Amino acid sequence: MIRPTYLQPGDKVTLVSPSGHIPSPEEWNNITGLLKDWGLTPVPSPHLFSRDTRDEFATEEILQDWQSALNDEDCRAIWCLDGDYGSLRIVEEADYSVFQGNPKWIIGMNDTTVLHAKLYTLGIESLHAFTPDRLHDTSPEAINQVRNYLFGIISSYATPRHEYNRLGFSEGELIGGNLGWFHSLHATRLEHYTRGTILFIEESTDDLNLIDRYIRCIKYSGILQHIEGMIVGQLGTDNNPSFQEKANRIIRAAIEEYDFPVCFNFPAGLTKENYPLILGTGIELVVSINGGKIQFS
C-alpha cells in the first residue's frame, strides 16, 4: 500500500462534499479557522457553495468537484464533509489516473467509507476521521490527533479492557469503516480483499436490527472466516451506554465462533472521542487482559 505524503505548513487542503452537504457560514468559519491554525490553506471545491441546493444530489457538480480535487497537483489533502448518501454516485465515474501518480490524503467517515474502499482497491492508504463540519462535536484530543497524523506524527493506541474483548495477537492491513457501507459494498468492484486483514467497524444507526442484519450478512458472506482480527468502534449516534452495550452484544454474538482477537469500544465513529485510523496500512493488534493496543507500521 502507498501512503500519501505527509503535510507541510502552507499545504492546500480542499474541502469537498461528496454527499451534498453545504456547510453553513459558521461551519465554514470553524473549518477554515482550524486549518489555518494548523498552518494549512483551506480551499472550497468549486461548487461547494454555488450548486443548486434544490437538487438533493447535484451529481454532476459533485463529480466535477471530486475530479478537480483529485487532479489538483497543489492539493495535498481532500477532506470530505459529512452526509448520508452520495459518494456511491461518483466513486466509479471519476478518473484516478492523475491521483494515482500523485496520491494525497482522503479524510472522512460515514459515506466516505465508499471512497476509502475505492482507494484500497488502488493500493493507497487513507484516513478515517471526523468530518470537518462536525468539528464542534469532536474532542480537542481527537482533533489534535488528526493534525498529528496528517503531519506524520503517528502514535499507537491503547484502550481499556472490555468484557467482550477476545484476547490475542494479530497483524494485517486495516480495512473497513462504516458497518452499513462495508456490508453494502460486498460483491461489488469496491469490495475489500479481506484475507489476512483486520476489520474496523463503526456505525451511526440507532437501529439494533440493522446492526444485527449488517454483521450477520457479513458473517454469512464468509468474510469473517478470512480476517485476522476486529476493532469495534462507536455504534449508534448518541453515546448512550445502554445502546452501545446492546449493540456490542449483537456483534459479539455474531462472531462467537471465530477465534481472532477483538477489541471493543475503540474511540472512533460518531462520538466526540473520534480518533483517526489509517485505513490500508499494516497494524499490530494486541488484546490482553489489560485492554487493547494498536500499533501502526
Q: What is the pLDDT of residues 99-155, one digit of tens each?
A: 999 999 999 999 999 999 999 999 999 999 999 999 999 999 999 999 999 999 999
Per-residue model confidence as pLDDT tens digits over 200-237: 999 999 999 999 999 999 999 999 999 999 999 999 98
CATH fold of 157-296 reads Glucose Oxidase; domain 1 (3.50.30)
Q: Grid cell 457479513 — which residue?
A: 218
* Cα(26)–Cα(6) distance, integer angstroms: 28
CA distances from 293 to 128, 171, 266, 287 (A): 18, 12, 10, 6
Domains of the chain: which residue ranges?
A: 12-150, 157-296
d(CA 145, CA 124): 21
Given a contact cutoff of 8 angstroms between Cβ atoms, the answer to whether 146 and 276 are in contact is yes
What's the average model confidence in pLDDT over 166-172? 98
- pLDDT at position 82 is 87
Using CA atoms, how far apart are residues 161 and 138, in angstroms rounded to an integer? 23
58 pLDDT band (50/70/90 cuts)? confident
Give helix then strand counts, H and E, for the chain: 9, 13
* Residue 57 pLDDT: 60
pLDDT band at 51 (very low <50, low <70, confident <90, very high): low
CATH of domain 12-150: 3.40.50.10740
Question: What pTM, to 2 d.p., does this model score?
Answer: 0.96
Average pLDDT for residues 60-70, to the nearest whole number? 95
